Amino acid sequence: MPDGIRFRSDRGKYQVRVWAIGLNGEQRERSFYVETLSEAKKLRAETLAQRYPDGDMTLTQWHARHWQVVRGTVRASTGRAYERGWRLRVKPWLGHIRLEKITAGAVEEAMSEWSGSTSTRIDALSVLSRLLDGAVRAQIIPLNQARLARRPRPDAPKSLRSRALTASEVRALLVAIKDENYRRYIAALVYTGMRANEATALRIEDVDLAHRTILVQRAFSVDAEGRGVELTPKSHKEREVPIPAQLVGPMTEAMKGKRRGDLVFTGPRGGRLNPSNVRRAIDWKTLRAQLRRDDLRIHDLRHTLATLLFDAGAAANDVQAVLGHSTMQMTERYSRARADAAKRAATALDALFGEEP
């Protein structure tokens, strides 16, 4: 007798038993009775194909039950991006659809209507996929259709090198920042390549002026309740970054009179810095206009160090270590090495064979 089917002699019928997931997540057995074995096999096959016999749980209902699980597996900043993706994109287009009726085609059609950049739409697709992954684990649906959907076509990439400042632009930027507290912070971003939230979390005990190194081992973030928290860096690995000669003076001044556990960079009143209050304090919009770089971002200061290191002849693995990139592929996006490969190859062939055919 097939699994889930048995003959009940007391009723003179075949009993079909299946496990179902209720709307509140409870697992329960459901039984059906039919006259013949062939009817029993057909009924069990049809019921298993549905996987969710209740059939009335929508994506919005599942989100209400499963969202806390999703949010607990990602960083607070990612959770906020997912919340926006759900509220502005996923829910309006797909929230009313039953889980078992969501298809890859429906997901692709929704994505074609979503506004925003490619990364914004991918955030929305990611939260949908995580929700459907949970539904698969709960045995509500057999397959995550979001994983079968074609991802949005990426925006035309802008060269990371083109976002970087030149050495003269770096000097002009630092001269234009009048308050020394903010100037030191911006200088540290440029000369060390630290992420803004890593510099925000930097403490006196992390800095070794004698050996001119900084140990990057924490990053500042804001959790789902709006509270400030310190986490590991983005790569989840600590790393050492050098303190170049240009930064020794600013770092010495920033650390003066502070104890080991104190923050290195603070505002004029001693408060913690973050990219938002720094942009306001130094009038970032005006500074960008002065540099004629209206699209310049704080994060581009990190790109600047990577580009300047390569231009100075630093090895790719050293640049990777300083920036804390998880892959060499990311690091090499800042290098001219690949772009110049064809030119170097042509020069080598010219030298070998001569310029004449």
The predicted-structure confidence for 233-256, as pLDDT tens digits, reads as follows: 876 778 888 898 999 999 999 999
Per cent of the chain over pLDDT 70 is 82
Strand order in the sheet with 27-34: 5-8, 13-21, 27-34
Give the pTM. Answer: 0.60
CA separation (Å) from 204 to 32, 55, 95, 251, 257?
70, 58, 49, 10, 10
CA separation (Å) from 24 to 67, 110, 146, 262, 351?
14, 27, 23, 48, 75
96 CB neighbour count, 10 Å cutoff: 11
Q: Whole-angstrom Cα distance, residue 205 to residue 214?
A: 9
Per cent of the chain over pLDDT 90 is 38
148 CB neighbour count, 10 Å cutoff: 12
User: 59-147, superfamily in CATH?
Assistant: Tyrosine recombinase, N-terminal domain (1.10.150.130)
Q: At 350, which amino acid appears?
A: D
Mean pLDDT over 179-186 rounds to: 95
Q: Whole-angstrom Cα distance, residue 17 to residue 31?
A: 5
The predicted-structure confidence for 192-206, as pLDDT tens digits, reads as follows: 989 888 999 999 999
201 CB neighbour count, 10 Å cutoff: 25
Closest CA to 163 of 294, 6, 332, 33: 294
Closest CA to 13 of 38, 37, 29: 37
Contact yes or no for 148/129 (Cβ under 8 A): no
The predicted-structure confidence for 30-68, as pLDDT tens digits, reads as follows: 788 888 988 888 887 776 665 554 446 899 999 999 999
Q: Whole-angstrom Cα distance, residue 228 to residue 263?
A: 14
With tokens 């770096």, the residue in question is 170
* DSSP letter (8 states) at residue 206: G
Contact yes or no for 54/139 (Cβ under 8 A): no
* pLDDT computed for residue 322 by the predictor: 78
List the beta bridge partners of residue 20: 28
Considering the domain delimited by 160-332, tell me its CATH architecture. Answer: Orthogonal Bundle (1.10)
* pLDDT computed for residue 352 by the predictor: 57
Domain parsing of the chain, residue ranges: 5-50, 59-147, 160-332
- Copy the structure tokens of residue 353: 């064979």
Q: What is the mean pLDDT of the chain?
A: 83
